Structure 1
Amino acid sequence: MASVFVSKFASLTAKAVILSFIVAMMAWSGVAQASTRHAAIVIDAKTGRTLYESNADALRYPASLTKMMTLYLTFEALQSGRISKSTPVPFSAEAASQPPTKLGVKAGGAVTVETAIYALITRSANDAATALGEMLGGSTRNFARTMTATAHRLGMTRTTFKNANGLPDDEQVTTAHDIALLGIALREHFPQYYGYFATRSFQYGRHRIRGHNHLLGRIDGVDGIKTGYTHASGYNLATSVKRDGRSIVAVVLGGKTSRSRDAEMAELIRKYMPRASRRGDPGDYIASRQEVAPAAVAVALPRHDAPTPDKRPARVIPAPETQALALVSEAPEPAARPALKVAEAIASKGVDPVSTASTAPSGWAIQIAATDSETQARAVLDKASKKAPTVLADASPFTAVYQKGGDTYYRARFGGFSSKTQAWDACGALKKRKISCYAVEQ
């Protein structure tokens, strides 16, 4: 009897040890996979010297940092005179069907080039990026070819683009080093347009769209560039800083959260900005600027300013007064998770519900209602904007989807508050106007 007990005890002990080992390996694997997304670099933008790097040449997913190249080619077309800031950008059915974040322009509609630029920089609008790509390249595929060719002539040798907006594609890859080069190229090659990247918000119709770059206005000398996020990429950020005669471009890829990514970037700026040189030859480009090969131009940049859209644009809408802005379905920031193949991410979760090609909102938001109808949630937001235009002038309306008891509900929220006090004060002002409200941290 004793031998039977000992045998069973040994068997249970062995199973426990094996189970513990499996759990430990799974945990270690998760940490290892999550860490493989991280990469960072700091480059002295005056000399090209690398001040810091970590996995800087490892392949990563660019997410919405892709739009930096879309804007580079847009600026190139502006500089050459092929297009102007007022040129209409038509939205095809494909462009209009892109998932959030987006402007929400319907197929057959149009906005100006300048509106599209602001939309990419602030809202990181996927539909506007696709529309720009189709206009400049004739098709997304052709435009992606030119994006890749341009990347290589800038010295971004490990970068491949497959679309104009950064939505998941398993073959769309880059490196922290390559993105830093692109950031420097935007500054060096198009100083007349680079100021767009410092835009913190812009007015689109009745709505003020606020940007995702939280370092603008918070860290002295930061003047842009771009944020990005997908499940597979993690939280990405490219940042340009000019201060005290020094200049750097820094990149952080694969952050676990938008806050940790911003904190890492702030620390990189604090530590390495003093090490940047005040001297540099203004006549030398750090980012190569070879001429585009004629063949590449012929393939990807047709003579016509725009492709034939699925429907003829009725009119250009620079900043519509009557068109409702498509509100973004957003959810709280997800917990850190292991890196996934993009194809797996699409198959398992579809497009990331947080903010597919841009950072999820951070800071504080205020909620004024919750309903089982997204249309009704949007109507509530619109009504509140009209009833309290001063209080909500700088706030960004959005809907946040959540599930309860198998049913889908939509929270009507305004984001863009930098502190708890700011959000509470806004709620207090709304309550005086008989609008129910409470503050939530994103």
Structure 2
Amino acid sequence: MRQALLGRANLVRLSGRILTALFVSGVVMLGAAEQASANAKYAGIVMDAKTGKVLYESNADAPRYPASLTKMMTAYMIFEALSSGRIKKDTRIPVSRNAAAEPPTNIALRPGDSLTVDQAVRALVTRSANDAATAVAEFLGGSEAKFASMMTAKARQLGMSRTTFKNAHGLPNSRQKTTARDMAKLSIALREHYPQYYSYFQTTSFTYKKRRYGNHNRLLGRVNGVDGIKTGYTRASGFNLASSVQANGRSIVAVVLGGRTSRSRDAHMADLIKRYLNKGSTGRDRMLIAKAPGGARTALAAMIPGKQVPLPTERPEAETLTAYAPEAPVKAAAVMNTAVPRPRAAVAAVDPMPTASTAPEPQGGASAGGWVIQVASMPSEDEALMFLAETEKKAGQVLARAVPITETFEKGGVTYHRARFVGFDSKSDAWGACASLKKKSISCYAVQQ
């Protein structure tokens, strides 16, 4: 009888453990589901870089805006040119007026300047410099449009069947899109094809013309095993991050697209790494993405899923990258620090793609998340961009995690350009940044996004 009772008690304990395990597992799965459902821009994937096995995915094949993850392909094209001997690290890249005019983030290149290939790569992976990206595009492709066509063709060769590039930097363009799965494939291709250059993505800072630029990737040196790759942000895309991790004989790549803030994106990525790294294979490394002489011709080994499509028969035509109204002849002081309703039409002009990236804004004044600070409103976009650059320079570490943007709005039939910094998780973070800026005699106020 006693043995029967003990057996029954053990069975109850075992059943309890099973139920607890199922509950915990359900909570984890529910958390991931809530992450995706609560944020219409979200997409994510974790892939074993040794076997190609997908360890986690959510909306992995849904179209999204790559933002500055675009520069991963720009870097791939540079590495290919270096490997083939077409260019060297000390080859100088000329800077055109078009390249110098690119908005932040940039390294303040001027028409007639030149920088080395080595400097250009470091500017791409640390500062995420848009001016350097365009200079590279014009140098390697002859024009932005031709280089974008080359990037798209290369994407097809690498098995990135749902990716189209229209520029080399990732600034807003409704036809420039990708998926989390495609960006994971590109991350693996960079590691496999160009290990001699991949260490560029581990660069923590870069100095150009006596100014030091830090890497936007805050996981480098903070999360064990992270060795790159790239961050990205536009208003349409949200906060993006591709990460490569190698630790304890395991190797994974992870991609998060559409984060609400840089901090929440980084936290989610760190959680994915913690959760899935130990699920990775400890076997030998395998070449997942085939690379034929002169460039990758075969797309992917069958172990990485993804449909193959033919190479484009026509070059994608060039298009205007911005949709801002012409400059208005009024004084900036007239609207400095004036709060006005958010301009829906102006945003739609650069974000018309009918995907989950363009979910309608919450009604009744509710916010989708995140805080921004505004430092000025200007009648000219160039003035707004210059003000952002000067503010960033004066602010130092106060704005180290923030991203400068401009937004247009109309008042009295006149178009103005807000100068803002985005990426604050909370009201207290944004207010704290403003308080620090005001001590430096920089006007500022915080608003919820």
After TM superposition, the score normalised by the length of structure 2 is 0.63
Structure 2 CA distance for partners of 1:342 and 1:36, relative to 1, 3 Å: farther
**1:178 correspondence with 2:182:** yes
**1:288 correspondence with 2:290:** yes
Q: Give the Å deviation of 1:265.
A: 0.6
Structure 2 CA distance for partners of 1:272 and 1:141, relative to 1, 3 Å: same
Aligned with 2:350 (options 335, 343, 347): 343
SS of alignment partner, residue 60 of structure 1: coil
For 1:129, the equivalent position in structure 2 comes to 133
Aligned with 1:117 (options 115, 118, 121): 121
Cα deviation code 1:88-143 (max 9, x no counterpart): 11111211111111111111211111111111111111111011011111111111
* 1:214 aligned partner, one-letter code: R
Q: Equivalences for 1:252-263 in 2 at 5 Å?
A: 252-263=256-267
For 1:250, the equivalent position in structure 2 comes to 254
State the alpha-carbon separation in 1 of the partners of residues 71 and 195 from structure 2: 18
SS of alignment partner, residue 105 of structure 2: coil
Q: Give the Å deviation of 1:231.
A: 1.4
Q: Give the Å deviation of 1:33.
A: 9.4
Q: Is the 8 A contact 2:243 2:255 kept in 1?
A: yes
Q: Give the Å deviation of 1:35.
A: 3.1
**1:86 correspondence with 2:90:** yes
Q: Equivalences for 1:26-425 in 2 at 5 Å?
A: 35-280=39-284, 282=285, 284-291=286-293, 292=295, 343-344=350-351
Q: Is the 8 A contact 1:170 1:341 kept in 2?
A: no
* 2:220 aligned partner, one-letter code: L
Q: Which has the higher contact order (CA 8 A, sep 6+)?
A: 1
* 2:290 aligned partner, one-letter code: S
SS of alignment partner, residue 233 of structure 2: strand
Structure 2 CA distance for partners of 1:343 and 1:163, relative to 1, 3 Å: same
Q: Give the Å deviation of 1:290.
A: 3.7
Structure 2 CA distance for partners of 1:101 and 1:380, relative to 1, 3 Å: closer
Q: Give the Å deviation of 1:36.
A: 3.2
SS of alignment partner, residue 122 of structure 1: helix
* 1:110 aligned partner, one-letter code: S
Cα deviation code 1:269-320 (max 9, x no counterpart): 010000001113x4x42123245499x9xx99xxxxxxxxxxxxxxxxxxxx
Q: Give the Å deviation of 1:239.
A: 0.2
- Structure 1 stretches of 5 or more lacking a match? 1-30, 301-334, 347-361, 386-390
State the alpha-carbon separation in 2 of the partners of residues 63 and 247 from structure 1: 25
State the alpha-carbon separation in 2 of the partners of residues 164 and 245 from structure 1: 34
Q: Give the Å deviation of 1:39.
A: 0.8
The 4+ residue runs of structure 1 with deviation greater than 4 A are: 31-34, 291-294, 369-382, 394-403, 408-413, 435-442
State the alpha-carbon separation in 2 of the partners of residues 163 and 231 from structure 1: 17
For 1:352, the equivalent position in structure 2 comes to none
Cα deviation code 1:357-385 (max 9, x no counterpart): xxxxx99x9xxx99999879977987x79
SS of alignment partner, residue 65 of structure 1: helix
Structure 2 CA distance for partners of 1:34 and 1:115, relative to 1, 3 Å: farther
Q: Give the Å deviation of 1:44.
A: 0.5
State the alpha-carbon separation in 2 of the partners of residues 246 and 293 from structure 1: 25
- Structure 2 stretches of 5 or more lacking a match? 1-34, 298-310, 316-341, 354-369, 424-428
State the alpha-carbon separation in 2 of the partners of residues 276 and 220 from structure 1: 15
Q: Is the 8 A contact 2:236 2:351 kept in 1?
A: no
Q: Give the Å deviation of 1:81.
A: 0.9
State the alpha-carbon separation in 1 of the partners of residues 113 and 254 from structure 2: 37
Q: Is the 8 A contact 2:60 2:179 kept in 1?
A: yes
* 1:265 aligned partner, one-letter code: M
**CA RMSD for the aligned pairs?**
4.4
State the alpha-carbon separation in 1 of the partners of residues 175 and 406 from structure 2: 30
Q: Is the 8 A contact 1:380 1:412 kept in 2?
A: no
* 1:241 aligned partner, one-letter code: V
Structure 2 CA distance for partners of 1:114 and 1:441, relative to 1, 3 Å: farther
Structure 2 CA distance for partners of 1:178 and 1:344, relative to 1, 3 Å: closer
Q: Is the 8 A contact 1:216 1:223 kept in 2?
A: yes
* 1:162 aligned partner, one-letter code: K
* 1:67 aligned partner, one-letter code: K
State the alpha-carbon separation in 2 of the partners of residues 92 and 40 from structure 1: 37
State the alpha-carbon separation in 2 of the partners of residues 147 and 66 from structure 1: 9
* 2:154 aligned partner, one-letter code: T
State the alpha-carbon separation in 1 of the partners of residues 389 and 63 from structure 2: 40
* 1:191 aligned partner, one-letter code: P
For 2:338, the equivalent position in structure 1 comes to none
Structure 2 CA distance for partners of 1:34 and 1:108, relative to 1, 3 Å: farther
Q: Is the 8 A contact 1:44 1:249 kept in 2?
A: yes
State the alpha-carbon separation in 1 of the partners of residues 446 and 253 from structure 2: 30
State the alpha-carbon separation in 2 of the partners of residues 34 and 122 from structure 1: 31
Q: Give the Å deviation of 1:344.
A: 4.0
Structure 2 CA distance for partners of 1:32 and 1:104, relative to 1, 3 Å: same
SS of alignment partner, residue 127 of structure 2: coil
Q: Is the 8 A contact 1:184 1:249 kept in 2?
A: yes
Structure 2 CA distance for partners of 1:129 and 1:38, relative to 1, 3 Å: same
Q: Is the 8 A contact 2:187 2:253 kept in 1?
A: yes
Aligned length: 337
State the alpha-carbon separation in 1 of the partners of residues 135 and 268 from structure 2: 33
